[in-house]
Amino acid sequence: MNKYFSFFIRGYKKFYEYPQRIFFNFILSVMLVFLLSTVWFYFIGGDFVEYIKYFLIVELFLSPFFIAASVQQGYYLLSNEGWNITLSKPIHNLLAFIMRALGEQFISIIFNGIVVVIVLYLIGFSASILTILLFVLLLIFVILYHSLMGYIIGGIGFFTYKTWGFFILKGGIEAFAGGAAAPLYIFPKSAIKLLSFLPFAYAIYYPAQFLLTGDITIFTTALTGLIIWNSIFFIIGYLIHKKGMKKFESQGG
């Protein structure tokens, strides 16, 4: 466990190379919360405060977890820190990915989390202890979901010149199919049903909605979807890396 904690410390120290990022990202996130809430309130209608609550959770609280466990980390470690660290023992090094990335985003997670709690309290939001604990459980699977996506896309680097296009594509799809840029409840029910066959909403929309409503049915939906898709992603990622290692060549000492 100590070696994994050392990855967390390494990521935590890396944060101090650019400490101003926390404030820059925070300001951008706040602006995005109000922009998205205003856009959907103007075009769709509904309760403006509910939009604010939803996007506060997604953009300010969940966003650092997306960043921490994103494909950027898998790609960065793959390309810059060597296959021996990231790929020689894929199961264990996947945890190393996560620990390092969480270390780098630790301050943002704490700072944004405190801001979200205060703002939600001021606008009348409350959640039971059980809801909060179950939400934390979902967060663990959400982090694993994004890490496994990075695991897959990082492995694609064995077969392509660059993988950043896949990262951008992932973010673009998650914006609408996952609920990052628009809460899915504004879409027709048929569209929501169609999106339920994709993995994205289980990592964004359903966890946020569960925290807002405390509905155990939403929790079950999110957890079941995350378990199924995480299992699929792990198998795919493992097979890609196993095949990629056969193509890998290295020189030097």
Burial of 4 (0-12, 13-18, 19+ CB in 10 A): middle
**Helices within 123-215 (DSSP H only):** 129-156, 164-173, 189-195, 205-213
User: What is the spatial distance between Cα 137 and Cα 82, in angstroms, rounded to a whole number?
Assistant: 32
User: What is the spatial distance between Cα 92 and Cα 82, in angstroms, rounded to a whole number?
Assistant: 15
How far, CA to CA in Å, does 125 sit from each of 53, 121, 184?
Answer: 8, 5, 20
Residue 164 inside a domain? The answer is yes
Residue 253 inside a domain? The answer is no
Residue 191 inside a domain? The answer is yes
Residue 103 inside a domain? The answer is yes
pLDDT digits (tens, 9 = 90+) for 34-89: 999 999 999 999 999 999 999 999 988 787 666 655 544 554 454 444 444 444 44
| 211 touches 57 (CB < 8 A) | yes
CA 18 to centroid of chain Cα atoms: 21
Q: Quick one: pLDDT at residue 59? A: 84
Comparing 17-26, 82-91, 169-178, 203-212, the range with the smallest average pLDDT is: 82-91
Closest CA relative to residue 35, chosen from 61, 55, 58, 65: 55
Closest CA relative to residue 141, chosen from 206, 192, 60: 206
Q: Domain range spanning residue 213?
A: 2-245
Residue 251 inside a domain? The answer is no
pLDDT digits (tens, 9 = 90+) for 163-181: 677 777 887 888 889 999 9
Q: Quick one: pLDDT at residue 80? A: 44
Collapsed DSSP state (helix, strand, coil) of residue 162:
coil
Closest CA relative to residue 196, chosen from 187, 210, 39: 187
pLDDT digits (tens, 9 = 90+) for 185-196: 999 999 999 999
Residue 135 inside a domain? The answer is yes
Residue that wins the pLDDT comparison between 230 and 121: 230
Residue 250 inside a domain? The answer is no
Residue 206 inside a domain? The answer is yes
Query: 249: pLDDT confidence band, cut at 50, 70 and 90?
Result: low
Q: For the chain, how many structural domains are there in total?
A: 1
